[in-house]
Amino acid sequence: MGTKKHHISIITGNDAAAEAVKLCGVQVVAAYPITPQSSVVEALSKYVEQGIMNAEFVTVESEHSALGVCIAASTVGARVFTATSANGLAYMCEQVHWAAGARLPIVMCCVNRAMAAPWSVLNDQQDSMTMRDAGWIQIFCRNNQEIHDTVIQAFKIAETVHVPVMVCYDGYILSHTVMPVELVSQEKVDAFLPKYVPHTILDPSHPRNLNPVTLADPRKDGSGTLCHGYMELRYLHQEALLNSPAAIVAADKEFGKLVGRNWGGMVWGYRNEDAEILLMAAGSLTMELSVAVDAMREEGIKVGVLGLRVYRPFPNKELVEAVRKAKLVAVFDKSLSYGNEGPICADLKSALYTSGVSPVVHGYITGLGGRDVKYRHLIEAAKKSIAALNNGNPVKETEWVNVQI
Amino acid sequence: MATRDCGQESAMSTPCIGEAGHTGDWRSVRPKFDETKCLAVKAGRPACFQCWAYCPEGVIKKEIGTEVDLDYCKGCGICAEVCPAGAITMVPENAEDAE
């Protein structure tokens, strides 16, 4: 397939992710099955058994162990991958923090699924959002091509800034839906992604203490060097996240030059050049918003999509620029910070507070637990916001879309 | 920040004595030996060494005439508990050798 210039495969989001992992020369995969993620690592298991992927596939008894194996393998210098969803991600929570605190360049797909209880295998983004403060980079993909390309970019970003990357995409809507995907050639991936040079490596001939009990204050080590205390290590971690947009944007640009497509870096827009109304979301919901925008443009409404690609680090500056000319931003969250509002909506307001840019911001909760979101629901919501704006009474509580209570 | 000069981005160091700091700093009581009661001293030959065997920090030397590395003794008092001769008592850290 590498000889053809444009080889288009009709594949699911999970296969698009697995193909990318294979191309990236991942050396260790550890995973535990959970719907809707399972078929990512089933595909990888098949590649390893068939001998077309030279990796160790470690079957473990839990997601906690899956990420534990990845942490260990990454620490000894391997390029590693895992994938999970919902309760699996919650079960590995402790290791999610550990991977980030140890500054390991692990890439994990989080195939977004609603959190139990009650059980739901269907899509929303509550799982990723509950891990937003764990210190990972979180990138949300809008379609299967972006999943394929973003997994490749994710290794480059992670290995540049030494922060793990969670590639998030909507369960079933993308994970199990086939779409045309152009697989990147091995030659191009090899040119894009250099061999991983580990920064923390375990070597029996040069033993090290890794992540030991670290006291509150800085102190000298055995050789007399003043070492970081816990707070200094957290400061460096935050510094790495805050500086990472440069690496994220650079990876997307370099990828674009090499492959011929890129994904907007931190944020992207659709028909938003002259838009007074912006409809904002992360993930596949932005595609449905694009349909809604096309329909509303037919009616002459100046409306566009504001796509949030990277949720952590939160693109404060980019969003301020993106909404500078807008009168209204309607934010559609597929998750909820219980007792407050949608997390993307809250973070957008926070970004705007000191910026001097102050469009009206309305929050909508959509699609929890797989509740279908049709473009007409989005148009109805957008028109409610526009009406509130035009009535001169723009303050509006968060509203739930298509809730039938 | 001064610690930036160490050049590390995660907690990582070379193992050596004192790498985790002087853990003896945590101590609030220290072992005090009465050599007139110590079985090894009285016998004048290697004997007993229960304090050495039970010390969780490995800071008591297996020698006649007891010596403790107070840089790393946390003052747990296990040596005083196990001494069959009652030769070890735990005294407050600020009491020094005052009787």
Residue pair A124/A300 in contact (Cβ under 8 Å)? The answer is: no
Tell me which residue of A298, A265, A250, A283 sits closest to A171, measured CA to CA: A283
Does the distance separating the beta carbons of A236 and B13 come in below 8 Å? no
For position A216, what pLDDT does the model report?
Answer: 85
Residue pointed to by tokens 């079957």: A59
Does the distance separating the beta carbons of B10 and A200 come in below 8 Å? yes
pLDDT digits (tens, 9 = 90+) for A280-328: 999 999 999 999 999 999 999 999 999 999 999 999 999 999 999 999 9
- B98 pLDDT above the threshold of 60: no
For position A6, what pLDDT does the model report?
Answer: 66
Tell me which residue of A232, A70, A233 sits closest to A166, measured CA to CA: A70
Nearest CA distance, A263 vs chain B (angstrom): 30
Class of A267-400 in CATH: alpha beta
Closest partner residue to A228 among B11, B15, B20, by Cβ? Answer: B11
Chain A residue nearest residue B14, CA to CA = A208
The Cα A56–Cα A149 span in angstroms is: 23
pLDDT digits (tens, 9 = 90+) for B14-48: 888 777 678 898 899 999 999 999 999 999 999 99
CATH code of the domain occupying A8-183:
3.40.50.970
Of the pLDDT bands very low, low, confident and very high (cuts 50, 70, 90), residue A1 is very low
Of the pLDDT bands very low, low, confident and very high (cuts 50, 70, 90), residue B95 is low
Pick the CATH number of B22-93 from 2.60.40.10, 3.30.70.20, 3.40.50.300, 3.40.50.2300: 3.30.70.20
SS3 content of chain A, % helix, strand, coil (to 5): 40, 20, 40
- B99 pLDDT above the threshold of 60: no
Q: Average pLDDT over chain A, rounded to whole? A: 95
Which residues of chain A does B17 touch, with a Cβ-Cβ cutoff of 8 Å? 222
C-alpha distances out from residue A182 to A16, A107, A147, B40, Å: 9, 21, 11, 80
DSSP 8-state symbol, B51:
H
Residues of chain A above pLDDT 90, percent: 90
Q: Which of the residues B4, B5, B13 would you substitute to probe the A interface, choosing the one with the greatest number of A C-beta atoms within 10 Å?
A: B13
Q: How much is the average pLDDT of A193-208? A: 84
Residue A49 CB coordination number (10 Å) = 10
Closest partner residue to B10 among A211, A218, A219, by Cβ? Answer: A211
Chain B residue nearest residue A232, CA to CA = B3
Which residues of chain B does A199 touch, with a Cβ-Cβ cutoff of 8 Å? 9
The Cα A349–Cα A347 span in angstroms is: 5
DSSP reduced 3-state for A220 = strand
Q: Is B14 on the interface with A (CB under 8 A)?
A: yes
The Cα A147–Cα A43 span in angstroms is: 15
Greatest Cα-to-Cα distance within chain A, rounded to the nearest angstrom: 73
Q: Map out the domains of chain B as residue ranges.
A: 22-93
Residue pair A168/A125 in contact (Cβ under 8 Å)? The answer is: yes
Q: Map out the domains of chain A as residue ranges.
A: 8-183, 267-400
Does the distance separating the beta carbons of B9 and A103 come in below 8 Å? yes
Q: How much is the average pLDDT of A378-405? A: 95
**A134, A62, A59, A112: CA torsion to nearest 10:** -50
- A42 pLDDT above the threshold of 60: yes
The Cα A363–Cα A337 span in angstroms is: 12
Q: Which of the residues B4, B5, B9, B22 would you substitute to probe the A interface, choosing the one with the greatest number of A C-beta atoms within 10 Å?
A: B9
Chain B residue nearest residue A203, CA to CA = B14
Number of residues assigned to chain B: 99
The Cα A333–Cα A336 span in angstroms is: 7
Nearest CA distance, B73 vs chain A (angstrom): 17
Q: How much is the average pLDDT of A257-277? A: 97
Strands, sheet with A165-170, edge to edge from the N-terminal-most edge strand: A56-59, A28-31, A80-84, A107-112, A165-170, A137-140, A310-312
Same fold, A8-183 and A267-400: yes
Of the pLDDT bands very low, low, confident and very high (cuts 50, 70, 90), residue A70 is very high
Pairing of strands B29-33, A8-11: unpaired
Which residues of chain A does B16 touch, with a Cβ-Cβ cutoff of 8 Å? 221-223
Which B residues in the span 70-99 are in contact with A, Cβ-Cβ below 8 Å? none
Which residues of chain A does B8 touch, with a Cβ-Cβ cutoff of 8 Å? 227-228
